[in-house]
Structure 1
Amino acid sequence: MALVLVEGAVLACSHGGRRRLTGGDPRMTVRGSGVLTAGAEAGIAFGSAAQPVPGMITPCTGTNPSGGPAPCLTTATLPPGLSAKLTVGGKPVLLSTARGVTVPPGAPPGTWSVADPGQDVLEAIR
């Protein structure tokens, strides 16, 4: 089993960027934080030192071929990052095993993974 992600969970990109997630679903909470469901992880920008974004903890150091900043942008999660049994509003919840590809603008792809699920109480079957 893997831990369920909640609002405040942290994603990390392969270029060292870290970003806190928002938008948990209040229909299911863990210690007051809404659970994150499938899709909440897609399209998250990590930001760079020159272009910080809300929720950024550490900037992404990805660069494009000319050396300019190209912060990572997440794609949807790959298996086994979604629960097979636990859903909220018909959507599977995101798990601490979630990972995926990043698509930095004008730069080679990277990867993202969960650095901190935001809680350590609720587990779900993957």
Structure 2
Amino acid sequence: MPAVLTTASKLACVHQGTVRATAGQHTLTVDGSPVLLADDLGLAVISGCIAQAPCVRISAVTAGVSTTLTVGGRPVLLATAKGTTNAGTWQASDAGQTKLEAA
């Protein structure tokens, strides 16, 4: 099973930009970092994208949403998470933790 993503996880666009997501919940944490939920990426900021038309926001999550673990009825994100941005694609590159996994 893949690891659950937290605010300590590394997410990036295909052009090497860093995705910075803020957790909308603080009930479930791993090593003090809140777990990210699928809808947390709607407000994520992308910085450092080197594309001519840079990625600045996430448009969609297309994979890596848990089917078994939720917080307040909202699914958590997994290390297999990926999707689209306004100018390309993004994916999780490092879950940043190995203690909590889900399907």
Q: Which digits, 9 at most, give the CA deviation of each residue in 1:85-122, with x for residues without a partner?
A: 10001001000111001113xxxxx1100012221111
Q: Give the paired residue count.
A: 103
Residue 78 in 1 paired to residue 62 in 2?
Answer: yes
Tell me the amino acid that sits aligned with residue 102 of structure 1.
T
Q: Which runs of 5+ in 1 are unaligned?
A: 48-58, 65-69, 105-109
Higher strand fraction (1 or 2): 2
Q: Answer with 19-28 or 112-121: which moved more.
A: 19-28
2:95 & 2:21 partners in 1: Cα distance? 10
% same residue: 43
Q: Answer with 111-120 or 38-47: which moved more.
A: 38-47
1:45 & 1:32 partners in 2: Cα distance? 22
Q: Which runs of 5+ in 2 are unaligned?
A: none
1:45 & 1:6 partners in 2: Cα distance? 15
1:39 & 1:24 partners in 2: Cα distance? 8
RMSD of aligned residue pairs (Cα, Å): 1.6
TM-score (normalised: structure 2): 0.88
Q: Which residue of 1 aligns with 2:76?
A: 93
